Amino acid sequence: MKQAKSSVLFEKAKQLIPGGVNSPVRAFKSVGGNPLFIASAKGAYMTDVDDNQYIDLINSWGPMILGHAHPIVEESIIKAVQSSTSFGAPGQLEVEIAELISEMMPSIEKVRMVNSGTEATMSAIRAARGFTGKDKFIKFEGCYHGHGDSFLIAAGSGAMTMGTPDSPGVTAGTAKDTLLARYNDLSSVEQVIVENQGEIAALIIEPVAGNMGCVLPHEEFLQSIRDLCNDHDIVLIFDEVMTGFRLARGGAQEVYDVTPDLTTLGKIIGGGMPVGAYGGKSEIMNIVSPQGPVYQAGTLSGNPVAMAAGLAQLRYLNEHPEIYDQLKATTQKISDGLAQNMGGLGHSINRNGSMYSLFFSPNTVMDFDSAKTCNTELFGKYFRRMLNKGIYLAPSQFETLFVSAAIGDHEIENIVDAHKSTIESLAE
Ligand code: KE4
């Protein structure tokens, strides 16, 4: 595989950008080799600057659920930019997307647009603290909620891959208000609540975790968390930045039929443009400025181009709910094909809707500790060989994959064939 242009670009990028990338997980550090610089993408495929083509199973870490450069998203952006790229004043599209988000996710009575998932989770925690008058919050080991200081404690995703789940630069003063529990371990949550009785403002959880790889909640885990939050006046926040409008038309809260108090969103609601949102019960959201005293702002929040792209994609998903059955079936075909061709290698696969992960561990991965039993060196070899065969996976064992509606039987066959020959080569 030719990599001349990517290599030249990466060398130059490293002189100008920390690690040569604008987000750490893109650097391929945990899988070895150098990142590829992408020139274009269309449908299920990405093409790098050396004209190598790949079937994309990251889809920009979730946003490209319809596939790349989908006409309805593209046309909405082209139309929007002709009326300027930003107003810094309210626009009609912001009202329309707020209305549609609330229709698709009824727990969201009011919503505030921001520019990233990180902004969404930071703001949701601030709103919960302002609403309850309490300081602490619970997160789960291995969950990732963006790079806000208070979340970089036992964080997943790139923080886990780079060996900085507890990042330097986060002060002890900040960290003391972040309480840790273990995913799928209700007793760990109960213990934290007992030890911090009356001091906990919120609990934030990825209802289906994607940042340890794809990890599913045990039966009743989410409902039990809901009950505990009710009993102890704790604001329950579902971080659906990944799962929102991906796992179902109404996200994970529809799949598991558990209603959070607040939800954070991102990725799909921007159609690939920078976006985030947080919302939920009016009685909580009414505390957010300018209606209430909890301050939060953003120059480009509700940006007309991002709103146009997100609205186009959400409208399409809302009007074509059959797409979720298609995505689920595609994901099942892929994961079944992987499982049937593991050549006896110890592995486990977690899947929910159009999110899945192949773990190089014989253990069932259900939390941070079991995720860490994966053979990351073997995963790195697998990743690089699949890449050479034209399959673009997440460059980390601790990330979920995202299937797009543009992936069809031809792509599934190629993915499984590449997997089969890769596993055979690893076993040699
Ligand atoms: P952003 O600030 O990256 O838009 O969103 C942060 C975030 C919040 N909550 C969840 C559940 C998330 O998965 C994310 C971001 N996801 C990562 C993928 N693991 C983004 C990829 C990256 O960091 O480059």
Q: Report the separation in Å between the CA atom of 401 and the middle of ligand 1, taken as the mean of its atom positions.
A: 13
3-state secondary structure of 48: strand
Please compute the mean of the pLDDT values over residues 317-321 and round it to a whole number. Answer: 98
- What type of residue sits at position 201? A
For ligand 1, whether the C-beta of 370 sits within 6 Å is no
Q: How confident is the model at residue 66 (pLDDT cuts 50, 70, 90)?
A: very high
Q: Does domain 71-319 have CATH number 3.40.640.10?
A: yes
Q: What is the pLDDT of residues 222-281, one digit of tens each?
A: 999 999 999 999 999 999 999 999 999 999 999 999 999 999 999 999 999 999 999 999
Q: Report the separation in Å between the CA atom of 343 and the middle of ligand 1, taken as the mean of its atom positions.
A: 33
Measured distance CA(313)–CA(323) in Å, rounded: 12
CA torsion angle for 331, 376, 143, 175 (degrees, to 10)? -170
Count helices and strands in the chain by DSSP H and E runs: 15, 14
* Ligand 1 atom nearest 210 alpha carbon: 13
Measured distance CA(352)–CA(317) in Å, rounded: 18
Measured distance CA(255)–CA(248) in Å, rounded: 7
CA-atom Rg of the chain in angstroms: 21
For ligand 1, whether the C-beta of 121 sits within 6 Å is yes
Among 45, 54, 144, 278, the active-site one is 144
Indicate if 71-319 has the same CATH topology as 4-69+321-427.
Answer: no
User: Among 38, 241, 253, 396, which residue has the most ligand 1 atoms within 8 Å of its CB, making it the best to mutate?
Assistant: 241
For ligand 1, whether the C-beta of 242 sits within 6 Å is yes
Among 267, 278, 367, 389, the active-site one is 267
Query: Which residue minimizes the CA distance to atom 6 of ligand 1?
Result: 146
Q: How confident is the model at residue 49 (pLDDT cuts 50, 70, 90)?
A: very high
Q: Report the separation in Å between the CA atom of 145 and the middle of ligand 1, taken as the mean of its atom positions.
A: 7
Q: Report the separation in Å between the CA atom of 189 and the middle of ligand 1, taken as the mean of its atom positions.
A: 24
Nearest CA to 13 out of 30, 31, 38, 32 is that of: 38
For ligand 1, whether the C-beta of 348 sits within 6 Å is no
Nearest CA to 304 out of 155, 97, 59, 159 is that of: 97
User: Among 29, 143, 145, 206, which residue has the most ligand 1 atoms within 8 Å of its CB, making it the best to mutate?
Assistant: 145
pLDDT at 160: 81
Compute the mean pLDDT over every residue in the chain, rounded to the nearest whole number.
97
Query: Which residue minimizes the CA distance to atom 5 of ligand 1?
Result: 117
Q: Both tokens of residue 34?
A: 């150098």
For ligand 1, whether the C-beta of 355 sits within 6 Å is no
Query: Which residue minimizes the CA distance to atom 9 of ligand 1?
Result: 145
For residues 323 and 329, the answer to whether their CB atoms sit within 8 Å is no
Q: Both tokens of residue 115?
A: 């520019």
Q: Both tokens of residue 199?
A: 């001091």
For residues 388 and 147, the answer to whether their CB atoms sit within 8 Å is no
For residues 321 and 249, the answer to whether their CB atoms sit within 8 Å is yes
For residues 339 and 362, the answer to whether their CB atoms sit within 8 Å is no
pLDDT at 156 over 90: no
Give the burial string for 15-38 (b: 16+ CB within 10 Å, else e). Answer: eeeeebbeebbbbbbbbeeebbbb
Q: Report the separation in Å between the CA atom of 63 and the middle of ligand 1, taken as the mean of its atom positions.
A: 11
Active-site residue 144, yes or no? yes
Q: Which residues contact 172 (CB under 8 A, 6 or more apart)?
A: none
Query: Other C-beta atoms within 10 Å of 14: how many?
Result: 14
The residue whose two tokens read 């790949």 is 54
Instruction: Estimate the crossing angle of helix 322-339 against helix 409-427, to 10 degrees.
Output: 20
* Ligand 1 atom nearest 276 alpha carbon: 4
pLDDT at 3 over 90: no
Q: Report the separation in Å between the CA atom of 146 and the middle of ligand 1, taken as the mean of its atom positions.
A: 5
pLDDT at 402: 98
Measured distance CA(264)–CA(245) in Å, rounded: 12
Q: Both tokens of residue 262?
A: 């607040």
Q: Which residues contact 338 (CB under 8 A, 6 or more apart)?
A: 349, 358, 416, 419
Q: How confident is the model at residue 287 (pLDDT cuts 50, 70, 90)?
A: very high
Catalogue the E-assigned strands of 230-326.
Answer: 235-239, 262-266, 276-280
**Domain limits of the chain?**
4-69+321-427, 71-319
Name the CATH topology of 4-69+321-427.
Aspartate Aminotransferase, domain 1 (3.90.1150)
For ligand 1, whether the C-beta of 310 sits within 6 Å is no
For residues 196 and 130, the answer to whether their CB atoms sit within 8 Å is no
Q: Report the separation in Å between the CA atom of 377 and the middle of ligand 1, taken as the mean of its atom positions.
A: 24
Q: Both tokens of residue 369?
A: 């500790």
For residues 391 and 282, the answer to whether their CB atoms sit within 8 Å is no
pLDDT at 127 over 80: yes
Answer yes or no: pTM beyond 0.85. yes
Indicate the burial class of 307 (C-beta count within 10 angstroms; 0-12, 13-18, 19 or more): buried
Measured distance CA(4)–CA(20) in Å, rounded: 16
* Ligand 1 atom nearest 25 alpha carbon: 24
For ligand 1, whether the C-beta of 146 sits within 6 Å is yes
What is the 8-class DSSP label of residue 112?
Answer: E
Q: How confident is the model at residue 411 (pLDDT cuts 50, 70, 90)?
A: very high
For ligand 1, whether the C-beta of 118 sits within 6 Å is yes
Q: Report the separation in Å between the CA atom of 307 and the middle of ligand 1, taken as the mean of its atom positions.
A: 19
For ligand 1, whether the C-beta of 25 sits within 6 Å is yes
Query: Which residue minimizes the CA distance to atom 18 of ligand 1?
Result: 61
Q: What is the 3-state secondary structure (H, E, C) of 335-373?
A: HHHHHCCCCCCCCEEEEECCEEEEECCCCCCCCHHHHCC
pLDDT at 161: 79
Q: How confident is the model at residue 157 (pLDDT cuts 50, 70, 90)?
A: confident
3-state secondary structure of 101: helix
Please compute the mean of the pLDDT values over residues 86-113 and round it to a whole number. Answer: 98
The residue whose two tokens read 């994961």 is 335
